[in-house]
Amino acid sequence: MSERMIKTVLICLLNAGFTCLSARAQVAAKTDHSTDPAAENMLVYQRSVGGWPKAVGKVITDQLYNKVLSDAEKSLIRADSMHNDATIDNKATSKELRYLATAYKHTQNPAYLKAVEKGVNYLLNAQYDNGGWAQYHPDHSLYRGQITYNDNAMVNVLNIMQDIAEGKNNFDQLPAAFRPKAENAVKKGISCILKTQVRVNGKLTVWAAQYDEHTLKPAKARAFELASLSAMESVGIAEFLMRIKNPGAEIKDALSAAMAWFERSKITDHDFVFIEDAKQPKGKDRIFIEKPGSVLWARFYDIDTNEPIFVGRDSLPKKTVAEIEQERRIGYAWYGNWASNLLQKKYPAWLKSL
């Protein structure tokens, strides 16, 4: 073989080699994606219906997502994916969707986007025709099927839907087909909010923490969560309504009435503080004290009298937090300054923006 022919063969071999390497690189680019440890665990714990639990046993999911799971553990968890515990309580499902959307932006790992799509579809499917969301889905046993504003459950979902509709906070990465679905979900959700704003003697006030999903009337959930007006949850609802662009008269009226209620229902010159008390279990208690300049709202107000109520596990409303058992006094948010920033800054700024 001549020297010229040898050179020609070598060049062909080299070109073939580069072609092969290029093909391998393209395959690697499609299959070798960066991963996020917490996101990987979220994929494992996602239920078959698309949502996530708030805890497994007595362990909250935040702790589980930071754990290093063996392959055997992952297999066992995935085998339990049919568990009927998917929920929007305690930020479950909404926090995973937000985290995974961010993780996808940073890693471009398609598994994360796929999980977000599945989770959003879960929320869309879970919405009632009247626009509300239950605390759990599809488990609607006991109070789990009630329309739930408690702990901002429904508002967390609506904020995600609004983000999708606006293409914000990394949800612009979803396929375009999700946007009109989210817009419709928001429209239905707002309708539910407006219908559930409590009227007392014909006058709009604020919202209860949970509602009967059929009658849209305020409802009791846990023993210490009676049908009542809820200050904390009403703040979240009001702030969501202020996100809506070009709001109509109904939204404006709903917000004006809510602000008026917050103003007349505030409690001044008092605070709710922890104290050391060796006589009590865990050596502490929580008491209502005078504190000049402080502004608070009670968590719950009686619908008819608008007086603060405090409820223990006996489900009997009391006039003071000191009257309920110590376990409930220290274990629940009975007072808070939830509406302060809303009244002083956010609502005035919103009015100016109209």
Domains in the chain, ordered, with CATH?
32-196 (1.50.10.20), 197-354 (1.50.10.20)
Tell me whether residue 201 is one of the annotated catalytic residues. no
Q: What is the pLDDT of residue 32?
A: 54
Average pLDDT of the residues of the chain = 92
Per the CB < 8 A criterion, the answer to whether 221 and 209 are in contact is yes
What backbone torsions phi and psi does residue 39 show, to the nearest 5 degrees? -60, -40
Dist CA 163 CA 157 (whole Å): 10
Measuring CA to CA, how many Å separate 242 from each of 166, 196, 236, 345? 14, 17, 10, 12
Tell me whether residue 90 is one of the annotated catalytic residues. yes
pLDDT less than 50: residues of the chain: 1-31
**In this structure, what token pair is assigned to residue 153?**
């459950």
SS3 296: strand
Exactly one of 90, 150, 159, 170 is catalytic; name it.
90
Q: What is the pLDDT of residue 11?
A: 40
Dist CA 267 CA 340 (whole Å): 11
Measuring CA to CA, how many Å separate 247 from each of 2, 133, 187, 295, 338? 84, 22, 12, 30, 23
Dist CA 223 CA 317 (whole Å): 10
Residue 3: Cβ-neighbour burial (10 angstroms; 0-12, 13-18, 19+): exposed
Specify the pTM: 0.90
| DSSP assigned state of 260 | H
Residues forming a β-bridge with 114: none
Exactly one of 169, 179, 222, 306 is catalytic; name it.
222
SS3 331: coil
CA dihedral 18, 20, 23, 24 (to 10 degrees): -110
Q: What is the pLDDT of residue 33?
A: 76
